[in-house]
Amino acid sequence: MRASAFYSGARRAIGRALLVACLTALIVVGPLRANTAMRAPRSTAQPSWLRPTGTAWQARHAASVPNGTYTLTALARDAAGNVTTSAPITVTVMNPGPVDTTPPTVALTTPADGAAVNTVVTLSAAASDNVGVAGVQFRLNGADLGPEDTTSPYSITWNTATIGNGVHTLTATARDAAGNTATSTPRTVTVSNLMPLTQLVAAYAFDEGAGLSALDSSPTQNRAVLAGAGWGVGRSGSALAANGVGYAEAADRSALSPGLTATFEAWVFLTGAPTEPASILNKWSQSSDDEYLFGLDTSRRVYLAWQTTGGAIWGTPSFNDAASAGQVPLNVWTHVAVVRNGPVVSFYINGSLSSSVTAMDANPFRNGTNSLRVGSQSRGGRVRAFPGRIDDARLYRRALAPAEIQLDMNTPISAPGSQD
Ligand SMILES: [Ca+2]
Ligand SMILES: [Ca+2]
Ligand SMILES: [Ca+2]
């Protein structure tokens, strides 16, 4: 109701009562005659407003109530005791409150800084504010992660498979109702989801245990034939016993030339120090037809010699070798792996990164015509046989993540179906 309406209505109600009304942000009414009162509606329950013999409804009364809408009426009484109540008016009290300039505080509570995460994880934050937290927004690498959480406790679930494996940064930003914000100290996490074991192009379980055939459990289905090698106790089931005298040989396949990324893996049981590089997976012939030799060097380090399409001269980055920092012990099953990822070659022993070198050129592995031999080279004037046993030999055309290497370590190759 406007001030003028209030004024006329009140005047009708109280006759000649003197009324001065003034509305600013507040309402000031008065002075009224001694026998005139103004009262607030009962519904707002503000007894202090009731002025049975009152003189004025002061600004301070408006200042004493919460912001909101109120109804006012005026009561007039004459000397004979006649009382009339005015028509009500409504007013809106809109006192400015104190301005909140204090931002919230916020910190991520889970996951831990530096944590390795996979599948679905919970992000949690602790937030507080001098007035109240209006919401917390989680962010991944600076981008909003889900909607703002407006109720405590502040948390969301995050499917880590929605982003690639690797290191990522998480933050939480808290907001108060006045618009002040604060962002937590960032935390980094390493996402390592297991990927489907795709692009496996050779997988020998050596679980036949007798005869001359070693079946390939990969989609390549490239059966190997033993030559001079036998069978022995494996890491799982039986193993190929190369024992420095034999190997298993499978035909050349285009899939066995892995391109720009590759992973070589095997369990090995080394029974003596190699006198020259000992072959685990070998497509080498001491000629321009060389492709790779995955094995152990004479210092029992994990070893890779390779040739790419970038050249055919030994000693250049396209035709070279490298070895791990760590050594493989004698007479104990040890898992060894080499990952090629572009120019970087990484060596793993028992699922842990031993060392990594930027050694390769950026060209794919050469695609030669040599057969794949497991446990020996035996061509080009070199034998390079493995002194000991080999189990679960695998070759991938892609670079496996450490978690995938560890998964392979703990997962024996399952027997394939029959092969020609
Ligand atoms: Ca605040
Ligand atoms: Ca086996
Ligand atoms: Ca080939």
Q: Ligand 3 centroid vs 43 CA: distance in angstroms? A: 92
Condensed to tens digits (0 to 9), the pLDDT of residues 160-194 reads 878 877 899 999 999 999 999 999 999 999 988 76
pLDDT number for residue 418: 55
Does residue 415 have a pLDDT over 80?
Answer: no
Taking the CA atoms of 330, 331, 334 and 337 in sequence, report the sign of the dihedral they define.
positive
pLDDT band at 406 (very low <50, low <70, confident <90, very high): confident
Q: What distance in Å separates the CA atoms of residue 245 and residue 387, rounded to the nearest whole number?
A: 8
Dist. CA 380–CA 398, nearest whole Å: 29
CA distance 157 to 138: 10
Q: Measure 391 CA to ligand 2 centroid, in angstroms.
A: 5
H/E/C letters for each residue in 289-335? CCCEEEEECCCCEEEEEEEECCCCCCCECCEEEEEEEEECCCCCCEE
From the CA of 230, how far away is ligand 3's center (Å)? 26
Radius of gyration of the chain (CA): 41
Q: How far is the CA of 251 from the centre of ligand 3 (A)?
A: 9
Counting Cβ atoms within 10 Å, is residue 3 exposed (0-12), middle (13-18) or buried (19+)? middle
Summarize the confidence of residues 217-240 as an average pLDDT: 96
Query: How far, in Å, is the centroid of ligand 2 from the Cα of 258?
Result: 24
- Asked whether the predicted pLDDT for residue 282 surpasses 60, the reply is yes
| Residues 105-191, CATH architecture | Sandwich (2.60)
Residue 314: its pLDDT value, please? 86
What is residue 60's predicted lDDT score, i.e. its pLDDT?
56
CATH match of 200-409 with 2.60.120.200: yes
Computed over every residue of the chain, the mean pLDDT equals: 85
pLDDT at position 390, please? 98
Tell me the CA–centroid distance for residue 127 and ligand 1, in Å.
11
pLDDT of the residue at 57: 52
CA atoms within 13 A on the CB side of 111: 20
For residues 242 and 138, what is the distance between their CA atoms, to the nearest angstrom?
A: 56
Q: Distance from the CA of 100 to the center of ligand 1, in angstroms?
A: 5
Contacting residues for 92 by C-beta, under 8 A, at least 6 apart: 67, 68, 69, 70
Q: Which ligand is nearest to the CA of 283?
A: 3
Q: At residue 35, does pLDDT exceed 50?
A: no
Check if the beta carbon of residue 122 is closer than 8 Å to that of residue 110. yes
* DSSP label at residue 407: H
- Ligand (nearest to CA of 267): 2
The ligand that comes nearest to the alpha carbon of residue 391 is 2
Cα(267) to ligand 2 centroid in Å equals: 9
Q: Which residues contact 152 (CB under 8 A, 6 or more apart)?
A: 127, 133
Tokens of 190: 């390493």
- In the reported structure, the alpha carbon of residue 118 is separated from the centroid of ligand 2 by a whole-number distance in angstroms of 29
CATH 2.60.40.10 residue ranges for the chain: 105-191
Confidence at residue 265, expressed as pLDDT on a 0 to 100 scale:
98
Q: Which ligand is nearest to the CA of 366?
A: 3
Predicted confidence (pLDDT) at residue 43 exceeds the cutoff of 70:
no
Q: Ligand 2: distance of its center to the CA of 181 in Å?
A: 59
The whole-angstrom separation of Cα 303 and Cα 29 is 96
What amino acid occupies position 217? Answer: S
Q: What is the C-alpha separation between 302 and 322, in angstroms, rounded?
A: 9
Mean pLDDT of 274-296: 95
Residue 316 has pLDDT above 70, yes or no: yes
Q: Does residue 23 register a pLDDT over 80?
A: no
| Predicted confidence band of residue 420 (pLDDT cuts 50, 70, 90) | low
Q: Where in the chain is the domain with CATH 2.60.120.200?
A: 200-409
pLDDT (mean) for 39-64: 47
Quote the pLDDT of residue 25.
30
What spacing in Å lies between the alpha carbon of 263 and ligand 2's midpoint?
19
Residue 351 Cα to ligand 3 middle (Å): 29
Contact (CB, 8 A) for 72 and 89: yes
**pLDDT of amino acid 52:** 36
What's the 60 CA to ligand 1 centre distance in angstroms? 27
Ligand nearest to the CA of residue 254, numbered in listed order? 3
**Which SS3 state, helix, strand or coil, does residue 394 take?**
strand
* Distance from Cα 147 to the centre of ligand 1, integer Å: 21
Q: How far is the CA of 306 from the centre of ligand 3 (A)?
A: 14
71-120, pLDDT tens digit by residue? Answer: 888 888 999 999 999 999 888 877 777 789 999 999 999 999 999 888 78
Query: What pLDDT, on the 0 to 100 scale, is given for residue 248?
Result: 98
CA 305/CA 264 separation, integer angstroms? 12
pTM of the model: 0.57
Measure the CA–CA gap between 247 and 241, rounded to whole angstroms.
8
Task: Say what the pLDDT of residue 224 is.
Answer: 98
pLDDT confidence of residue 131? 93
Cα 22 to ligand 3 centroid, rounded to whole Å = 98
- pLDDT classification of 40: cutoffs 50, 70, 90: very low
Neighbours of 186 (CB within 10 A): 14
pLDDT at 98: 78
